[in-house]
Amino acid sequence: MAEPGKPITLITGASSGIGAALARRLARDGDHVILVARRLRLLQEVSEGIVASGGSCEIAVCDVTVGEAARSCVSEALRRHGRIDRLILNAGGGDRTPAEHLTGEEMRAALELNLFGVVNFIEAALPALLRQGNGQIVAIGSIAGYRGLPRAASYGAAKAALMNYIESLRIDLAPKGISVTLAAPGFVATKDTKKQRAKPMAMQLDRAADLLARSILRKRRYVAFPRLLAWIAAIMRLLPVGLYDRLIRALDRR
Ligand SMILES: NC(=O)c1ccc[n+]([C@@H]2O[C@H](COP(=O)([O-])OP(=O)(O)OC[C@H]3O[C@@H](n4cnc5c(N)ncnc54)[C@H](OP(=O)(O)O)[C@@H]3O)[C@@H](O)[C@H]2O)c1
């Protein structure tokens, strides 16, 4: 059980990468974190690290793509703590597949994880947040959701859908006292990105977690990083299609 007064923060995808680093960072700042993912052993390692540093946390094994699992994860958190202050929906990822090998199955899987994995938790937790009249929803999108990128059709489309969905919720929920933070990272150096070819301006994991944590605590509505890459990507959004395609192909060849 969390000490009274500690913010209750549920983080999906907390067994590795950005989610684990963010959980460690927020626990250090005093949040009681509920670590959600599928791999129990990794969750236990993250939990042991947090407790060894004086933080408080608990583990919930859950596949975010399963609506029923998300509902029981949220109701168990509410049963134990009576509230959720921050709902951080970070679980995500995807394959890099050239268009000629892309299947409907991969597209559906990308949407199940990156979009419905978030929808499932918001649907389960929103009634409680609305009753509380406060709370924060945080979603981790991607700069890959801005515009089409090579071999990123499934992942990019799923992140684009997620970001549009979250932006819409942000507008709807602000008058009801619920703040929404959307993060759009570029590259963050995790195990997943190590497999990729080009990682322009990749940010170190702890730096990314620190920046994310500060943005969450300040209830920023939107944060994109690394800042230079975010600016370049924002400008590239405005380019006409012919120029955009040539530039992206040239960058992809490097
Ligand atoms: N790293 C980057 O450069 C980068 C850039 C932009 C956006 N992002 C986004 O940042 C988020 C975190 O990515 P990361 O780089 O930290 O990747 P990661 O190290 O692969 O972590 C992904 C996390 O999601 C969890 N997860 C995956 N499928 C799940 C499922 N069905 N149910 C529950 N949990 C699931 C994984 O845990 P289990 O396998 O244990 O379930 C893991 O904890 C993702 O949304 C990703 O798209 C990352």
Q: Is the CB of 190 under 6 A from ligand 1?
A: yes
Ligand 1, residues 10, 188, 195, 205: which to mutate, most atoms within 8 A of Cβ? 188
pLDDT score at 2: 81
Listed residue (202, 115, 193, 223) closest to 159, CA to CA:
115
Cα(82) to centroid of ligand 1, in Å?
27
pLDDT score at 204: 95
Ligand 1, residues 46, 66, 90: which to mutate, most atoms within 8 A of Cβ? 90
**pTM (2 d.p.):** 0.97
pLDDT score at 195: 58
pLDDT score at 55: 98
pLDDT score at 253: 86
Cα(246) to centroid of ligand 1, in Å?
30
Share of the chain above pLDDT 70, in %: 97
pLDDT score at 198: 62
Q: Is the CB of 199 under 6 A from ligand 1?
A: no
- CA angle at 212 for the pair 90 and 117, rounded to the nearest 5°: 10
Query: For atom 36 of ligand 1, which residue has the closest CA?
Result: 13
Type of residue found at 42: L
Query: For atom 42 of ligand 1, which residue has the closest CA?
Result: 13
Pairwise CA distance, residues 243 & 89, whole Å = 35
pLDDT score at 180: 98
Q: Is the CB of 215 under 6 A from ligand 1?
A: no
Share of the chain above pLDDT 90, in %: 92
Q: Is the CB of 145 under 6 A from ligand 1?
A: no
Q: Is the CB of 226 under 6 A from ligand 1?
A: no
pLDDT tens digits along 40-80: 999 999 999 999 999 999 999 999 999 999 999 999 999 99
Ligand 1, residues 11, 18, 66: which to mutate, most atoms within 8 A of Cβ? 18
pLDDT tens digits along 179-231: 999 999 999 998 765 555 667 789 999 999 999 999 999 999 999 999 999 99
pLDDT above 60: residue 161: yes
Query: For atom 34 of ligand 1, which residue has the closest CA?
Result: 37
Domain 8-253, what fold? Rossmann fold (3.40.50)
pLDDT tens digits along 236-249: 999 999 999 999 99
pLDDT score at 85: 98
Mean pLDDT, the chain, whole residue set: 95
Concatenating the DSSP letter of every residue in the chain gives -PPTTPPEEEEESTTSHHHHHHHHHHHHTT-EEEEEES-HHHHHHHHHHHHHTT-EEEEEE--TT-HHHHHHHHHHHHHHHS--SEEEE---------GGG--HHHHHHHHIIIIIHHHHHHHHHHHHHHHHT-EEEEEE--GGGTS--TT-HHHHHHHHHHHHHHHHHHHHHGGGTEEEEEEEE--B-SHHHHTSS--TTPBPHHHHHHHHHHHHHTT-SEEEESHHHHHHHHHHTTS-HHHHHHHHHHHHH-
Sequence ranges of the domains in the chain:
8-253
Q: Is 155 a catalytic residue?
A: yes
User: For residue 185, is the peptide bond before it cis, meaning its omega torsion is within 30 degrees of 0?
Assistant: no
Q: State which ligand 1 atom lies nearest to the alpha carbon of 21.
A: 16
pLDDT tens digits along 106-155: 999 999 999 999 999 999 999 999 999 999 999 999 999 999 999 999 99
CA distances for 181 relative to 35, 97, 110, 224, angstroms: 19, 29, 22, 11
